[in-house]
Amino acid sequence: MLATVKLKELLDGKGFDEISEVYANNLPKELEENTDKTIVLLTESNPSIEMSGNNTFFGKTERVEIQIFYKADIDYDIEAFEVELLRFLTSEHYSIIDMREHSIDPDTLQLTAVFFVALDKII
C-alpha cells in the first residue's frame, strides 16, 4: 500500500474533529479554492531503501509531506491541534523529520502548515 494511502487511513481512523477531509496524492479540482474546510493533502516525499547487504536491501523509509490548509474561519487552537497531531503520529511510529513555518496561501488567504514525516519499515 502506498505510504500516502496508509497515512490517510490512519488519520481518517483517528477522526480528528479539526480536519474536514484528508486526501492522498492529489487534491480534487473543486476543492482547490475552498476556504470553508480544513483540508489535509498527503504526498510522497523522497522514499529510500535502507539496510543494504548481500546485494539486496531489507528496509525502506517511507516519507510523506503533510500539507494542512486551514479553513478561513478558525474556531479552534491551531497549536494545540498540531501538537495533538504530531503526538499521534509519533505514537504510530512516525518520525517528524521537518516542520515548515506557517504561511498564507496567496490565492485563498488561508493559513497553511507543512510537516514531513517518515516511517521506517523492515521488508
Give per-residue pLDDT as tens, 1-28.
899 999 999 999 999 999 999 999 999 9
Give per-residue pLDDT as tens, 22-40.
999 999 988 888 899 999 9
User: Does the 3-122 domain belong in CATH 3.30.70.1700?
Assistant: yes
54 pLDDT more than 90: no
Q: What is the DSSP letter of 63?
A: E
pTM recorded for the entire structure: 0.92
Residues pairing with 107 in the sheet: none
Mean pLDDT, range 74-101, rounded to an integer: 97
For residue 118, the surrounding DSSP H or E stretch is strand 111-122
